[in-house]
A and B are shown apart, each in its own frame.
Chain A
């Protein structure tokens, strides 16, 4: 059994959009039978984030890319952060890839 992945959801304040996205992703991952540790954080806290995957909205991409983060972290950027279809389409392949590496 591999260890569960750490997935961190990032938004401006770290409590509204990121938490909403985390809730939707939780259901998507559960439906796919994937165990993972989920958390959420404000973008200002991103230098301290230890995660396998960071999930955020498209418009945070330029800001997030400015930080020098661990090169092993995979990124998922979403247009609609509460759209389960988009979350499943973009997040699940990255999760599977990460699990294959582990």
Chain B
């Protein structure tokens, strides 16, 4: 059974208006809630950073937006997603899509049980005006209302 994006991104997995200096820090910070609730291990955080070191910043899926992720076997315990908005946008060294101001983290358990969530995510990735409203959100509750299209 496929889970919706908004079921995966619970209130405690939303971090808003944070300041970070580097893309590595952005990945570490967005992963914190998933580490705290046991969805992933510290090894998964390292794997997400190593994937970018190895292959370049392909996780910058569209302008200003990142989907940090790695393989399930690098430390995913349970399917989950978290999100971080940045107070000051940072560079991921992407030739086209920098600077980044919103970072999602996907912990997938296999190749396709997150299809429904990813479909909803792709719609967000293609909707910059929606992302701008998410980035501007001042509270987790406001962020969630915008994500859930309740306002």
Chain A interface residues (CB < 8 Å from chain B): 11-17, 19-20, 23-24, 40, 42-43, 57-60, 63, 79-84
Contacts and interface: CB of A to CB of B under 8 A. Distances in A.
Contacts of B97: 80
Given A15-B69, A15-B111, A83-B62, A23 B119 contact: yes
Contacts, number: 77
Contact of B59 (A16, A40, A83): A16
Contact of B63 (A20, A42, A57, A80): A80
B61 A17 contact: yes
A57 B94 CA distance: 12
Nearest to A56: B58
Contacts of B150: none
B106 interface: yes
Contact of B58 (A15, A24, A59): A59
B71 interface: yes
Contacts of B67: 16-17, 20
